[in-house]
Amino acid sequence: MLKEYKAKVSSNNPITLFKQNEILIGNFRFMRDSPTSQWTITEVAQINSLQAWSTIFKIRWKARLALSLKTEYDFYTLLRVDYMTDHLYISFLTAFLLYQVLMAGAPLS
């Protein structure tokens, strides 16, 4: 019985399930009749990430989610850090290119 339990637990490992499947993107529209009434789902849409994203975006999202699952960090914190590093990279690249353009017109002395 213990072996069966271990097999069942290992088969439900979220990291294993994550590696074997693709990301499913869902969009739900909630509406309510008045500010005091309950929310109701009025529209539902789903699409596979293979159809919606190019390969680089799919890899980045899977990497973010995998890192969150493995390290047990909050996903939103990892997402913010990733966006911040992207912002820093783009800022440094822009500054470097701007420096190159400005120095190209500078007189040699």
- What is the identity of the amino acid at 65? L
Structure tokens that stand for 77 in this block: 């914190």
Show pLDDT as tens, one digit a residue, over the chain (109 residues): 778 777 776 667 777 777 788 888 999 999 999 999 999 999 999 999 889 989 898 888 888 888 888 888 899 999 999 999 999 999 999 999 999 988 887 776 6
Write down the pLDDT at residue 2: 75
Question: Model-level pTM?
Answer: 0.61
